[in-house]
Structure 1
C-alpha cells in the first residue's frame, strides 16, 4: 500500500484558499494507493469544496495531529508528503509548528519517500522559525516559491507560478461584450476615501462599464455592500449560497468583466484566468500581489492610491483589449508550467517507488 499524505487546512468561507488547496489535492492524487488528508478544523462544507475522494482518510482538528504523525511513522516505505500551497506565517510563535513540519519531512525522507512543497510565499519571517523552515525546505525534493522575494528569503528551491493559476483558464465573453467593472476589497482594511471612489466611478463611466461588487471571502460581504452604495453599483451577495455554486457564479462574473479591482490575490488570479484585467488599487498595497504576478511576467498590477494622482489612477483603470490579451497569454503560460511541474513530480514519485 503506497500512501500519500497531504495537508489541506484553510478557513471556510474563502474561495481563494479553497481553490489553492484543491489544486494541492490535484497534485497529491495519483501519487499513491491511499490518501491521508489533514484538514484542521474545517467544516464539512470545506471538504466538499476541495472534492476529497470518499475513500480518503481525513484527519480533522488539532487533536488529530498525533495520529497524523503516527500514521507517517507507520507508513510503508516511499510515502509521499505534500504540503499545502499558500502563505506561510513565520513570525514569532510559529516555532513549534515549524518543528513539527521539520519532523514530518525527516520521517518521510528516512523512509525513502518524497516531500513536495507546492508554490508558497513566506510572511513575516523571524528567527528561529525561518531557520527551521529553511532546513525543512532544503531537505524536501520539491520546493517551490511563488515570488522572487520569498525565493531570496528561503535561499533554496525554485520560482514557480502561484498554484491558483492552474485552476483553469476560461474563454469568457468576447472583449467587446464585456460590460462590467468588478470590485472586491478586504473588509478588515479602512474604507477607501472619497478620491478613490470618485476615480473608480469616473473610470467606469469613461469605459462604459457597469460597476458591480462581489464577495470572494465571507468576511468581506459587508464591505462589498457598502462599496456598491458608494460607487452607485450593483451588489452580488454570497449569503447562504453553497460555496461551490457561489464560486462558479463568481467565475461567470469574471467572464463578463473587463476590469477587476481587489486587494485579495486570488480574486485577481481568478479574474485573470477569465480574461479580465487585474488591478490592485488600494492605499499602501503589500508586495504580495505584485510579486506573484511578476513571477509569471505580468507587471504594473498594483498601484498605491495614497501616493498616486487621480490621472495616474484613471490611467491604471483604463481597460485595453491589448493589455487583456497580454495578461491572458502570460496566464496560459503559467498554467502550462504548473501542469509540467505536476507531471514531473508524478514521474519522480514513480521512479522512487519503482
Structure 2
C-alpha cells in the first residue's frame, strides 16, 4: 500500500520534528511511505527518523503527480494530511488547496484519508471555507486544540508530540530536579523584565540553577540575552544540530523542577520528560491553553498583561506548579492513552 504524506516544516524548529515523527511511524505500519520533504536540509530529514524504505520526494510536482496517479487507480493507497499548525495564508494553505481535488477523487474511489493532529489559531473567512470543505471530505478528523475542533465541528486529540519522551516510570522518578529552565520566543517583542526577576527570585530561594534553552534557531539571540541577565547556562541551537539539540534539551528537562516558556512544543517536550510547567501566553493568544485542554493536561497558562503584577504572579505560579509534578505526569499518561486510540484509528483507516 502506498501512503502519501507531506512532512515539510520549519527546518530549524525541533517542535515541527517531534509532532510529525509519531505519525510517520504509525503510517509506516500500514504501508510504504511516499514523503514530500522539499529541499530540506539533511539534519531535519535525519531527525524525522525516516526509514530507508520510505520514498522521499524533493519536487512537489513529482510527488503530486504520483499522488494523483495513485488516487485514480483502484489499487490500495492512502493520504495523510500533515499534522501541526495550519497557517491561514496562501502558502500555509497550499497543501489543503492542492489536494482538495485529489481527496474528492479518493472519496469516490474509497481510498483512506487520514487527518489527525492539526490545528489553527485564526480563521480567515476564505481559507476557513476551504478547510471546512476539505474536512467534510475527510470524516473522522481529529484536531489538536479545542478552538479548531469547535470551529470545524470535529473531535479533539492531544498534540502528537505527547507520544514521545520519557516512559511513565522515568517521569515518575523522584531523582534530583535541580534546574529552572527558561525558553522564550525570539520573534516577538516582549518585556522580559518580570520573567527575569521572578526566575531569579525563585531559583535563589529554592536553590536551583537556571538554564536557558532554544528549540528554534531564531530564538538563539534572545536565549543568549536572557542567559546573560539570569547569569545562567545557555543551550543554543547550532546549524545542523537537530537531533543532538533535541537530546540535549530533553536531558535538561529531565533535570528540571519547572520549565517556563511561551512555546508550545518546549512545554510539551518538557512535560513528557517529567517536568512541571508554567506557560506564558502573549498577544491575547490562547494557543497554549487550547492545546493543553485538548490533551487533558492541567497546565497553567498565564497572560502577563500587567507589568506591575507580572513578577509576583509568575513567582507564585513557579512555586505552585513546581509541586504539581505528579499531576502533570498523570496528564501525560492520559494523553498517551488517548493517542494510542488515535493511532489505532489511523491503522484501522489505512487498512480499511
| Both proteins in one fold, TM over 0.5 | yes
- What is the aligned partner in structure 2 of residue 154 from structure 1? 152
- What is the aligned partner in structure 1 of residue 131 from structure 2? 133
Deviation of the 1:10 alpha carbon: 0.8
Gaps of 5+ in 1: none
Deviation of the 1:175 alpha carbon: 4.2
Rounded Cα–Cα distance in structure 2 between residues aligned with 1:93 and 1:107: 23
- What is the aligned partner in structure 1 of residue 103 from structure 2? 105
- What is the aligned partner in structure 2 of residue 166 from structure 1? 163
1:269–1:28 CA distance, 2 compared to 1 (3 A): same
- What is the aligned partner in structure 2 of residue 341 from structure 1? 342
Aligned residue pair count: 348
C-alpha RMSD of matched pairs (Å):
2.2
3-state secondary structure, aligned to 2:86: strand
1:123–1:72 CA distance, 2 compared to 1 (3 A): farther
Check conservation: 2:181, 2:259, Cα contact below 8 A: yes
Deviation of the 1:86 alpha carbon: 0.4
3-state secondary structure, aligned to 2:99: helix
- What is the aligned partner in structure 2 of residue 42 from structure 1? 40
Deviation of the 1:173 alpha carbon: 8.0
Deviation of the 1:116 alpha carbon: 0.6
Deviation of the 1:103 alpha carbon: 1.7
Deviation of the 1:240 alpha carbon: 4.5
Choose the corresponding residue for 1:119, options 111, 117, 123.
117
Deviations 1:316-341 (A, max 9, x none): 11155641100110111111111121
1:105-254 pair list within 5 angstroms: 105-155=103-153, 157-170=154-167, 171-172=170-171, 174-175=173-174, 177-240=176-239, 242-254=241-253
Deviations 1:270-329 (A, max 9, x none): 100011112123544521111111122333521122334433221111155641100110
Deviation of the 1:80 alpha carbon: 1.2
3-state secondary structure, aligned to 2:296: coil
Check conservation: 2:279, 2:299, Cα contact below 8 A: no
Rounded Cα–Cα distance in structure 1 between residues aligned with 2:240 and 2:124: 40
3-state secondary structure, aligned to 1:123: coil
Rounded Cα–Cα distance in structure 2 between residues aligned with 1:62 and 1:84: 14
1:240–1:172 CA distance, 2 compared to 1 (3 A): farther
Deviations 1:75-108 (A, max 9, x none): 5433111111101112467666532131231232
Rounded Cα–Cα distance in structure 2 between residues aligned with 1:176 and 1:48: 32
Rounded Cα–Cα distance in structure 1 between residues aligned with 2:95 and 2:344: 30
- What is the aligned partner in structure 2 of residue 313 from structure 1? 314
TM score, norm. by length of structure 2: 0.91
Check conservation: 1:162, 1:292, Cα contact below 8 A: yes
1:261–1:309 CA distance, 2 compared to 1 (3 A): closer
Check conservation: 1:180, 1:259, Cα contact below 8 A: yes
Deviation of the 1:243 alpha carbon: 1.7
Deviation of the 1:124 alpha carbon: 2.5
1:255-334 pair list within 5 angstroms: 255-281=254-280, 283-284=282-283, 286-307=285-306, 308-318=309-319, 322-334=323-335
Deviation of the 1:65 alpha carbon: 4.9
Check conservation: 2:7, 2:20, Cα contact below 8 A: yes
| More divergent stretch after superposition (178-187 vs 313-322) | 313-322
Rounded Cα–Cα distance in structure 2 between residues aligned with 1:66 and 1:167: 30
Rounded Cα–Cα distance in structure 2 between residues aligned with 1:244 and 1:315: 35
TM score, norm. by length of structure 1: 0.91
Rounded Cα–Cα distance in structure 2 between residues aligned with 1:30 and 1:313: 44
Check conservation: 2:179, 2:255, Cα contact below 8 A: yes
1:22-61 pair list within 5 angstroms: 22-32=21-31, 34-61=32-59
Which runs of 4 or more aligned residues in structure 1 lie more than 6 Å from their structure 2 counterparts after TM superposition?
none
